[in-house]
Amino acid sequence: MSETTQQAIPAKPSLIKDYLQLMKPSLSIMVVFSSVISYLLAPNVLFDWWQIVLLFVGGMLVTGSANTINQVVEKDTDAVMKRTASRPVASGRMTVQHGWTFAIVTGIVGVLILGFFFNWLSAALGAFSLVLYAFIYTPLKRQSAIAVFVGAFPGALPCLIGWVAGTNAFYPWEEVLVAGESYTNLGGWVLFGLQFLWQFPHFWAIAWVAHRDYSTAGFKLLPSDLGPTKFTALQTIVYALLLVPIGILPYYINMSGITSLYVVLITNLFLVFQCFRLYREMDVKAARRVMFSSYLHLPVVLLALLLDKV
């Protein structure tokens, strides 16, 4: 083996690592997790490993494409923030053209997987979510704090995508037939609502902790122009409180049982408690508690609903 060949071999793992970094795997896995659980919560869906793997792969590719576009578009702002400066495009290890090519390929393949193996309605929702996140939410982050509200839609759509992948029904008033019995299609929208509201305390806690970095890059992500204020903390309380009645709905629409009702209620109230602590203490330590509580909140709620599925 020549010296040139020996030197070329180590470059492959580095490129693979860069591709993974473009896709933001930790964030993407959380997003796709909610989609898979929502799919399994659909009344007509039975556990099938092959379908779960396909939905996971398709979702990862669509989400990874959106995250890649985000990094390509924000390469200059990423470069000035300590926690993002080492990203492939921001650091110069990967060209903008290379990033766009990767985003286009993964996005198209992901949407096609959803369409061919599930239904084209879920594929259309996946494509819409990608466009909304990459081309509306991403540039809006430097313009107005309304970006967080806009970004909450593609952030919650994975729940609806998973549900629609299972039911092939979109509107909440549609009915899903299972063995001759009719079930409401409202469940997908309830899951969408849960994840939509959850994002506000979750993201504002992150923006509170990383406020200095975000401000340096010119991002406007907190509801107050003055940064981490009582108003910001109050907003986290409002959205956490709204999660409480929404969390009761899965039981009342017969999607899950009484056990999950109590688990979801306790989990929601715990998040509300942490948001009240943030309002009272007004420091980064309290914001981190909200952030980590929200990281635990979503999987606990979704798994409780699935394990207690009616």
Rama region for 118: left / alpha / beta (φ>0; ψ in -120 to 50; rest): alpha
Reported CATH class of domain 186-310: mainly alpha
Please state the CATH superfamily assignment of the domain spanning residues 1-184 in this structure: UbiA prenyltransferase (1.10.357.140)
Q: Digits of tens for pLDDT over the chain (310 positions)?
A: 444 444 444 444 588 999 999 999 988 999 999 999 999 999 999 999 999 999 999 999 999 999 999 999 999 999 988 888 999 999 999 999 999 999 999 999 999 999 999 999 999 999 999 999 999 999 999 888 899 999 999 999 999 999 999 999 999 999 888 877 888 899 999 999 999 999 999 999 999 999 988 888 888 888 887 889 999 999 999 999 999 999 999 999 999 999 999 999 999 999 999 999 999 999 999 999 999 999 999 999 999 999 999 8
Look up tokens 């080492």; give the residue: 86
Q: What is the pLDDT of residue 3?
A: 43
Residue-wise pLDDT for 95-104, tens only, equals: 999 999 999 9
Look up tokens 């948001």; give the residue: 275
Closest CA to 146 of 220, 70, 227: 220
* Domain ranges within the chain, ordered by starting residue: 1-184, 186-310
* 0.85 surpassed by pTM: yes
- Per DSSP, which regions of the chain are E strands? 175-178, 181-184
Concatenating the DSSP letter of every residue in 156-167 gives: HHHHHHHHHHHH
The end-to-end CA distance of the chain, in Å, is 61
Residue-wise pLDDT for 251-282, tens only, equals: 999 999 999 999 999 999 999 999 999 999 99
